Structure 1
Amino acid sequence: MIKKAKTFDFISETERLVIRPLKNEDYQNWLNEFKNRFPSQHRHDKGKIDMSECTEEWFHNLVKKHQTLALSDTAHIFGIFRKNDDIHLGMVDFSTLARDNFQWGRIGYMIHNQFWRKGYGKEAVKEALNIAFKDLNFHRIEAHINVDNAPSINLAESVGMEFECVRKGFIYEYEEWTDHMVYYINSK
């Protein structure tokens, strides 16, 4: 029997970061950093995003949705915050692909582009993988990465994920079925 972590009240810390679910009181901090994003740096960076429909009520519903997804073990979604000033740096999430004899999940990550090249992504993803194995009880985590997304590939490799294969026509995005590279890491 695999125990499920109650991630809606979970917190993990590294030297510089706090990784935890979003809370209602995070709204202004969360919104500010989305608004402070730089223009897009490459094809897979959304850059500045229209946040006009992201009202405080909308955000509170998002927090509830994240809690529901965590309770059902469908997805576990965490904010990444800088420890010294609680600034929202980005997000990391796990989707459960299969449990039972697999204990298999997928990781997604995003650091606001105004905080790139400071090591936050590597530090956050490394700690998130610890959370995945120790607290969420996954055995295998995969990252599905666009074949031309060099920054994401470099990040996956920097935390010890290994290239496994290219899945052809794997995800429908950019108005077409796109190939994705699969990187994986297993618990030790």
Structure 2
Amino acid sequence: MKIVEKTFDIVSETGRLIIKPLEKSDYESWLDGFESRKPSQHRHDEGKRDMSNCTEEWFRDLVDKHQELAISDTAFVFGLFRKTDGVHIGMVDFSTLVRDNFQWGSIGYSIHNHQWRNGYGQEAVKEALEIGHKHLNYHRIEAHINVDNEASFQLAERVGMEYECTRKGFIYEFGDWTDNLVYFKNSI
């Protein structure tokens, strides 16, 4: 059974976005996306950060690392780019949780905060779920969302993910074990 396509060949388009693995030629757009961020808007928004260590050489190594993770079926990272001008607006990623009889993965998503309220998150995550089911062959895709991240769980609901449960003490972050809402979408 073929598990995944070569992810560096997967490119998907929506009405306004191109979703694809990062390429070494994406450096300037990627860097500008992060450097254009506003200060953090809430605790789940990393906001503006120091990008001085993110040189072009560092970025080339990052792209290579993403390809290694994809080849090993560990993780799949996709950049989100606006079609009209190539602006990098965020990222979507998948992690393989279990293959075998489960074909189970998780999804993460992030839109640069200066690009919020344009509908990019919904457009990108809806298409990313299609990529996860059709190209990465996940039957079940979960989003693990902090219980106080209302924008994220509202987005999960808008793209057709269903709330399943709250996992107590599920992920170690912010210096503690945090509870997470679990949203899922199965392939049809």
Deviations 1:23-49 (Å, cap 9, x if unpaired)? 111111111110100111111001111
- 1:86-97 equivalent positions in 2, closer than 5 A: 86-97=86-97
CA distance in 2, matches of 1:7, 1:23: 12
CA distance in 2, matches of 1:31, 1:72: 26
Percent identity reads 68
Partner of 2:45: 45
SS of 2:73's partner is: coil
Taking structure 1 as the reference length, the TM-score comes to: 0.98
- 1:21-32 equivalent positions in 2, closer than 5 A: 21-32=21-32
SS of 1:124's partner is: helix
Superposed structure 1 runs of 4+ greater than 3 Å apart: none
SS of 1:69's partner is: helix
Deviations 1:54-81 (Å, cap 9, x if unpaired)? 1111100000000011111111100000
Partner of 1:14: 14
Partner of 1:110: 110
CA distance in 2, matches of 1:4, 1:55: 31
The CA deviation at 1:14 is 0.6
CA distance in 2, matches of 1:60, 1:2: 28
CA distance in 2, matches of 1:37, 1:53: 17
Give the length in aligned residue pairs.
Answer: 188
CA distance in 1, matches of 2:152, 2:134: 24
Runs of at least 5 residues in structure 1 that lack an aligned partner in the other structure: none
- 1:138-149 equivalent positions in 2, closer than 5 A: 138-149=138-149
Aligned-residue RMSD, C-alpha: 0.7
- 1:2 aligned partner, one-letter code: K
Taking structure 2 as the reference length, the TM-score comes to: 0.98
- 2:45 aligned partner, one-letter code: D
